[in-house]
Chains A and B, each alone.
Chain A
Amino acid sequence: MRRPAPRALSDRLPEAPGTPLLTGSGLRKSFGLTQALEDASLDLYPGEVVAVMGPSGSGKSTLLHCLAGVVRPDAGTIEYDGQDLVAASDTRLSALRRSEFGFLFQFGQLVPELSCLENVALPLRLGGRPRRRAEHAAAEWLDRLDVGELAHKTPGECSGGQGQRVAVARALITRPRVVFADEPTGALDSLNGERVIRMLTEAARESGAAVVVVTHEARVAAYADREVVCRDGRTLDTGGPG
């Protein structure tokens, strides 16, 4: 398994950024008495891979959920490609998740009743793509991620690492502009974990997608262009593209 050597910050950036694709600023979110986000901000530029790191309970997953429009913040602004996500309707947010965003979680995101091929094709079908065409595209993505032989198996018949690669294929099949990955290697051993994060970042870079990956593992963060540290609900940018 090829492991990239940690690169100097200036080497990691694919190109000089212009306007951020996604901006979250001054984000606050509490769940009951628990303050998950205090004053968190993050700018995401097109095509870059950002790792959000921090200890458990620091608010990194909540930050990712807020940026993805899955959870609405109590305060602050989120702007995606000029659109205010805080004020966006559920329908609009659903449409964004369907076409512009991709998701990868630690586990549980594959539908156990469907085959791997059908799982990967699902976002396209939800978008209205005819089944045959959706599954044709899904098969290509499965091949691309070296899991083509799993097309007709169900997630229950796959190993954890295989399942996550299927999930990567599903996250990328709509050619999203942003992929949100929440501890994508958390349930995998180190070998499979690295394989998944490598494939995710390579595939995302090839398709031009930006990636926000929440992790507490330095070896996963090493694949990112930039790291943002989250602590007590606040963010600290350890290196920006500017």
Chain B
Amino acid sequence: MSPRDRAPAGTGPERDRPSPLGELLLGAQLALRGGREVVLRSVLTAIGVGVATAGLLLAAGLPTALDHLAERNAARMDHQVAPHPVPPSGDDTLLIGIATTLHAGQEVHGRLLRAEGSDPPLPPGVTEIPGPGELLLSPALADLLDAPGTEALRSRFDHPVVGEIGPEGLLGPHELAYYLGSEDLAVENAGIRITAFGGEPGPVVRGPVVVLLGLVGVVVMLTPVVVFLGAAVRFGGEQRERRLAALRLMGADRRAVRRVAAGETLPGVGLGLVLGAVLFYAGRPIVETVGVGPGLYAGDVAPHPVLGALVFAGVPLLALWVVLASLRGVVVEPLGTVRRAERPRPRVWWRLLLLVLGVVLIWLSMDLRTAGRLGLPGGGGLPMTAIGLLAALFGTTAVLPWLVDRLFRRASGGPLALQLAQRRLAAAGGGPTRAVSGIVVTVAGAIALQSLFANAWADASVTLADTAQEAYAENEFGPSRFQVQAELWMPPADDDPAGTVARVPGVEAAAAFRTVWGTTGDGTDVPVHIADCDVLRQMADLPACSPGDVFSALPGLGAGDTLMVRPREDATESPWVLPPVSGFEGALVEHPWSATGHTARDVVLATPEAAAAPAEIAARSTVWIRADPAVSGMEEGLRHTVGSLDPTSRLTVPITTVVNPAMADIRDALVAGALACLTVIAAGLVVGTVEQVRERRRVHAVLTAFGTRRSTLVASVVWQTTLPVLLGIVLATAVGTALGVMVQRVAGLPVRFIPVETLVIAGAGVGVAALTTLLAVPALLRTMRPEGLRSE
């Protein structure tokens, strides 16, 4: 029996093959069993992975959300899918009237409903057609009506509320919407007969700007997470490297050691994925509180299956890549860990190449687009732009270490603290600038995105006049200098709309006329405006007018001729035998927004006594209004009064600026997003700086032991953080602005600059650095005790 055979049982001569999976699991076990640093590293990794997972799941849910929005929009299509010609009324027909209005600049989706039988189609989210005068409200409108300060609005909805519109009938939780039962609605007035709701959802608009925003947004969002992960996985690095060296001594080769190191992140990554999923699902209801436009329901934000799978596969890979990248430049040998002594000087050529490549790609995509060989949206130029943008962003961060090296390697002079910081920056190379790279990407990316939004903002905000007075003056029409027009499709019977409107504070004058459509014997259609002589005189330059008069110069139209009149297309016609007809000179007065240049040759003006509109015809009313815009609340008062007269009315008022309020929300959200990214980066910077301070505790203890002032050491750390951040911010601002200009050109938009937002984002970047340094100072002070000289 040889001596080797006398060894304890279980260590027989078997030779096993190393298992990569086993090494990964060993790493995981080390992380789970490790000390405070390892546990903290796992927790930090989990936070980083969790934030990345939740953010990306949210992004992966956006396409689904847009699809859901489009589907809901399509599901409640009504007048767009109304059959033509109008079908006869029946059990399964429903009359709808468009009663959409505005409140404080926000659209209120409204419909009048009248069931014509026992089995009418139901709008989505409605279980029963409301009876005459009954209201169904969206939750947001119900809340608004309950809120103080909405008395005027409440007066328009002074009906019994019999139910709520369900989510499937609304675009989003914040949509203001209502259905009002009406017994007056008819095909002859504002009614549109339908047999079903719902149509095909149109293509979801994903224009080049949206896609670019999405791509750049995801990258800008991921970068701080990578920075945070980078800092997290380096935490407790010294101990890890000692542990890995021990494994090397026991026979683990370099690849095995890397696998063990990667395995150490597995618990953190696993926990992070769970945390991310929990954050996403727990935080999803928050989207319902975001009041951009109608908003989104929590259920809308469901990750696209493919994108969701990519997130769950990609984030762990990203974390592993960060871990392995953190071991680059570190040689784990059996006797210990060595960092490559002669750190290669950062070479500028490939760094600039990346930046230049990015710029060239963007220019090229622009060139191709203008040449018409590639089109936007969706053309091949878009990926090129996106790749170019990303290459330029990362090229910028790549240039930073080279710049730091250039600037600080030979820098001398200044106080001792500054010298220490410069030497440390020159010696440490990538470390201090790595985290700053995150700030650079975020700041540059956010500025580029803001530039795109500067255009979106400009497009969404059109200034027509500087003041309301100016706008009203520019819109005056007719001898009575009216500026406002209200159209009532189903005016109340036996009412005087002009008189009612005239009582609104701020209204100086109002004149109303009714309109029907007549068809001559030869098939010519002609509008017939009916009003008393006072009003008719304000509409045209009449020779003389008395009750019973009719004015027109339509060829072939004279006394005794018959016009077939109807209140609107497809409505029942009634014959009207004309009395003697007089002509008039000049053009008909019309509201400037709907003016078509009518003259006496293509219009008929009639006094009510001429009986142009038989009693059974529900003629449309138009009210012209002169008002003083300086009177507070005049427009809202007018809107509510007209809306009360006829929910299907349409009010046209002069406007100074056309604003899409959602754009302002989105712009604010973008700034908030950039600040959130910077916060994540700040967290990463704090972790990184504390770890750096820990690594240098012995040096600090030595410096303190031989009398270096604490203030000098603190100042050196402050300089060490501040110098690259300042450099990065300057670089990021310049590059971000330049990229923004280029991307605007690519998107075919005029070039705009956004100095205020740029300053806010750049300032926030500087603030992050300052905050980080402050938070690291306590850890720094702890390392300055001479006891730190004691070896373990």
Contacts and interface: CB of A to CB of B under 8 A. Distances in A.
A201 B88 CA distance: 108
Please tell me the size bucket of the interface on B. Answer: 35 or more
B17 A208 contact: no
A140 B9 contact: yes
A125 B35 CA distance: 21
Contacts of A129: 14, 16
Interface in B11-60: 11, 13-19, 22-23, 26, 29-30, 33-35, 38
Interface in A84-138: 90-91, 94-99, 101, 103, 105, 108-114, 118, 122-129, 133, 136-137
Contacts of A112: 35, 243
Contacts of B35: 112-113
Contact of B242 (A108, A125, A140, A174): A108
B304 to A, nearest CB: 40
B335 A208 contact: no
B257 to A, nearest CB: 9
Interface string B92-121: 000000000000000000000000000000
Nearest to A145: B8
Given A128-B19, A140-B10, A109 B246 contact: yes
A143 B10 CA distance: 13
B253 A96 contact: no
B210 to A, nearest CB: 49
A47 B3 CA distance: 9
A155 B661 CA distance: 65
B670 to A, nearest CB: 44
A128 B22 contact: yes
A185 B34 CA distance: 27
A11 interface: no
A134 to B, nearest CB: 8
B2 A208 contact: yes
B583 interface: no
A173 interface: yes
Nearest to B252: A126
Contacts of A123: 250-251
B248 interface: yes
A70 interface: yes
A99 B254 contact: no
A133 B250 contact: no
A144 interface: yes
Nearest to A206: B6
A175 B35 CA distance: 31
Given A206-B3, A206-B6, A103 B11 contact: no
Contacts of B248: 94, 97
A12 interface: no
Contacts of A144: 8
Contacts of A99: 15, 251
Contact of A207 (B3, B26, B34, B253): B3
A108 B14 CA distance: 29
A113 B10 CA distance: 24
Nearest to A169: B8
B8 A126 contact: no
A90 B253 contact: yes
B391 to A, nearest CB: 35
A114 B250 CA distance: 15
Given A98-B18, A109-B246, A127 B251 contact: yes
Interface residues of A, number: 48
Contacts of A114: 29-30, 33
A97 B26 contact: no
A108 B661 CA distance: 65
A112 B15 CA distance: 27
Contact of B250 (A126, A172, A209): A126
Contact of B4 (A90, A173, A175): A175
Contacts of A9: none
Contacts of B635: none
Contact of A103 (B3, B13, B19, B249): B249
B253 A94 contact: yes
B10 A136 contact: yes
Interface string A48-89: 000000000000000001000011000000000000000000
Given A111-B243, A111-B246, A174 B11 contact: yes
Contacts of B243: 111-113
B7 to A, nearest CB: 4
B636 to A, nearest CB: 70
Given A99-B15, A126-B23, A127-B15, A70 B249 contact: yes
B429 interface: no
Contacts of B16: 124, 127-129
A70 B333 contact: yes
Nearest to B253: A94
A225 to B, nearest CB: 14
A15 to B, nearest CB: 10
A154 to B, nearest CB: 9
B9 A95 contact: no
A205 interface: yes
Contacts of B8: 137, 140-141, 143-144
B256 interface: yes
A179 to B, nearest CB: 13
A153 to B, nearest CB: 13
A1 B47 CA distance: 55
B334 interface: yes
A91 to B, nearest CB: 5
A95 B251 contact: yes
B357 interface: no
Contacts of B38: 113
Nearest to B30: A113
Contact of A108 (B18, B22, B26, B246): B246
Nearest to A97: B251
Interface string A179-208: 000000000000000000000000001111
Contacts of A205: 3
A111 B38 CA distance: 13
Contact of A98 (B33, B251, B333, B335): B251
Nearest to B8: A140
Nearest to B15: A99
B698 to A, nearest CB: 17
Given A65-B335, A70-B333, A110 B246 contact: yes
A175 B251 contact: no
20 contacts: A47-B3, A70-B249, A94-B254, A97-B248, A108-B242, A109-B249, A111-B247, A122-B247, A124-B11, A126-B256, A127-B16, A127-B18, A127-B251, A128-B18, A141-B11, A170-B250, A173-B11, A175-B11, A207-B6, A208-B6
Given A127-B18, A175-B11, 13 more contacts: A91-B255, A94-B252, A94-B253, A98-B252, A108-B246, A111-B30, A112-B243, A113-B34, A113-B35, A118-B29, A126-B250, A129-B16, A175-B4
In the A-B complex, the 5 residue pairs with the closest CB atoms: A98-B251, A208-B3, A137-B10, A94-B253, A128-B16
